[in-house]
Structure 1
Amino acid sequence: MRAKFFRLDQFENNWGEFDGNVEKWQGFHDRFKSAVHDNELITPAFKIMHLLKSLKGKAKADLGEWPQTEAGYYELWERMQELYAQKYYTARKLLNRFLALPVLERASHNALQKMSNVTHEVIRQLRTLNYPVQYYDLFFVAGIHTRLDSDSSKAWELERTSDTPTIIQMLSFLDRQARAAPSSSSYEQKKQNDNRKRGYFETKPETSSDAKRSKPNGANENKTDRTCKVYKGAHAVHKCETFKKLSLTERRKSAKENELCFNCLNPSHTRKDCKLSGCRRCENKKHWINSVQVRNNSKKKSNQPKAEGQSS
């Protein structure tokens, strides 16, 4: 009786794709081997077609083109094992995932469940790589214990009945603690409610005086601006020694470029809308920028004529 062979379009891909990530190689290898490589009803010519069609991304780019023959298939399969069957590298990446688990400040459902899930996955994949994980219990148990918050750590110590606890016992404990712990959002809501009961507020409700201070172009806004918008110093512009040394023309140009009020030298409004009083020497005219140099040089005698509009 003649054997029946599968064509490419008659065979559904149930082994997935491979993108060159060595951590995913073992799983892809096992699925493809079971579904295609060991299937005697599929000829090598079709096996290589299935394999090439399963490659994507970096794996597809790295492996390039191969002859779709029996020899080509076995050479490609061998080459992929040489490139991606890196047990030590994969195991190191897996252990780094476990070691990257954070130390918990408080117990929450999400954090405890993630710790359990990551540990489960790392152990499962190490077992797939044929590492003797049955001897690694102390490493994983101690690693998890050092990452528990103080309450969960105490609970584990009360539950532990042996000096040689197994990872199965620890993971079972984590799952129970996760079910009993509040979610992160519930914890934050509880914290806010507790603060309200104690009379604490993370943000104070805005009062009428606060609203007045926060109005744009308000006088109080001008007083609270303590950063030099021109030279980025930790002082107001009108106290900036470098700005004071500029000529009147340079000060005006700098104020215009930085969108500063010519009266108070603060941003976000114009001289016309400024709430601060103007020059006391020129009938309250709002040209305080003109007097910056006057203040700076008030002790110096100068015979130079004053610029137009400069206060006397």
Structure 2
Amino acid sequence: MQDHSDVEDNLALIENVLVKIGEHLRVKEKAETHRKKLEEIVAQNSTPTVPPSATTQPTAAHPNVKLPELKLPVFDGKLEQWISFRDRFNQAVHNRTDLSGLQKLQYLLASLDGEPSNLLSAIPIQDSSYDQAYTQLTEKYEQTREIVYRHVQQIMEVRSINSRSASSLENILSTVSNALSSISALSIDTASSDFYTVSIVVNKLDSATKLRFHQGLPDKALPTWVTLKDFLAKEITDLASVESPSTNQQQQSKVNYKAATSRGKLIFVFCSDEHANFSCPRFHSMSDAEKQKQVELKKLC
């Protein structure tokens, strides 16, 4: 009986040993599995999975594009120039969908000078900064009331015509037209103030031009700006067709000569000293050919 009991004890001991060996083998197997997984993870992190060709493809967000060949406007902070700058910049850069925010920002900063440039000097040069910069600039200079005031002042202060010419009429027409266009760009109806605009401009005209304009109107009719603008455009064309460069030079010389004699003494236009032409030492030192050339050049005869 004792021997049988010893055998059972030995079998139980062997069974316990086998169980422990089995548990050890299972733990070792799991450890080996985890080790292999770790090696795979390390290998994946150390080897790039993106094909080399993919790194050279341009992204859709930053296409390699260039602006059209044009000179961008420069804005230096003058309110009366803001609308013109805004519209031209929007067309050339802001409204384009093929430019990234970073590219638009660089073009915007390159188009600013003086106060506007200082306003955005601290903005980060990155893709997301463009919208912020554009909004900041717009909020600063999109001052509708003040812009309208400035353009109305331009109309009121346009130079009056003393001597009827194509250039003097062109100055009035371009100044007033540009001012009204800038006001209209602010969604303001300028047609309702035609009577005011026409009254100012007509009073800037010389008497002959004013008479010609009124003679072409129906009796007692209140003219519109379009009517006056078309009249001025035709006058400019007609005058330019009959004015010659030599005539313009001669008129300018007469003006200079009158200015020189306005104080009762002749001021020689060649050296600008206050003396008569015949007593100018520089004139006397010239040869006869040089004297003749200067007389013809200055239109003194």
TM-score of the superposed pair, with normalisation by structure 2: 0.55
Match 1:139 to one of 172, 196, 204: 196
Match 1:177 to one of 210, 215, 235: 235
The alpha-carbon distance between structure 1 residues 7 and 172, as it changes in their structure 2 partners (threshold 3 A), is same
What residue is the counterpart of 2:140 in the other structure?
83
Residue-by-residue CA offset, 1:111-141 (whole Å, 9 max, x unaligned): 1221122122112221112210121211111
What residue is the counterpart of 2:169 in the other structure?
112
Q: CA deviation at 1:39?
A: 3.2
Matched-pair contact (CA < 8 Å) for 1:66–1:72:
yes
Match of 1:136, SS state, is helix
Q: Distance in 1 between matches of 2:127 and 2:248?
A: 61
User: Does 2:151 align with 1:103?
Assistant: no
Match 2:103 to one of 46, 49, 70: 46
For the aligned residues, what is the CA RMSD?
Answer: 3.7
Q: Which amino acid in 2 is paired with 1:103?
A: S
Q: Distance in 2 between matches of 1:109 and 1:139?
A: 24
Residue-by-residue CA offset, 1:47-77 (whole Å, 9 max, x unaligned): 3233223323332123212113344222212
The structure in which a higher percent of residues are helix is 2
The alpha-carbon distance between structure 1 residues 185 and 132, as it changes in their structure 2 partners (threshold 3 A), is farther
What residue is the counterpart of 2:77 in the other structure?
20
Q: Distance in 1 between matches of 2:94 and 2:253?
A: 59
Q: Distance in 2 between matches of 1:62 and 1:174?
A: 41
Gaps of 5+ in 1: 194-201, 205-210, 217-312
What residue is the counterpart of 1:297 in the other structure?
none
Q: Distance in 2 between matches of 1:126 and 1:153?
A: 26
Q: Which amino acid in 2 is paired with 1:172?
A: D
Q: Quick one: percent identity of the two aligned structures?
A: 21
Q: CA deviation at 1:189?
A: 4.5
Match of 1:147, SS state, is coil
TM-score of the superposed pair, with normalisation by structure 1: 0.53
Aligned pairs for 1:1-312 within 5 A = 3=60, 5-7=62-64, 10-12=66-68, 14=70, 15-161=72-218, 163-181=221-239, 186=247, 189=250
Q: Which amino acid in 2 is paired with 1:121?
A: N
Q: Distance in 2 between matches of 1:106 and 1:35?
A: 40
Q: Distance in 1 between matches of 2:113 and 2:251?
A: 47
The alpha-carbon distance between structure 1 residues 90 and 112, as it changes in their structure 2 partners (threshold 3 A), is same
Matched-pair contact (CA < 8 Å) for 2:61–2:100:
no
Match of 2:209, SS state, is helix
Residue-by-residue CA offset, 1:277-304 (whole Å, 9 max, x unaligned): xxxxxxxxxxxxxxxxxxxxxxxxxxxx
Q: CA deviation at 1:190?
A: 7.2
Q: Distance in 2 between matches of 1:215 and 1:4?
A: 73
Q: CA deviation at 1:85?
A: 0.8
Q: Distance in 2 between matches of 1:192 and 1:174?
A: 27
Q: Distance in 2 between matches of 1:215 and 1:50?
A: 57
The alpha-carbon distance between structure 1 residues 75 and 164, as it changes in their structure 2 partners (threshold 3 A), is same
What residue is the counterpart of 1:267 in the other structure?
none
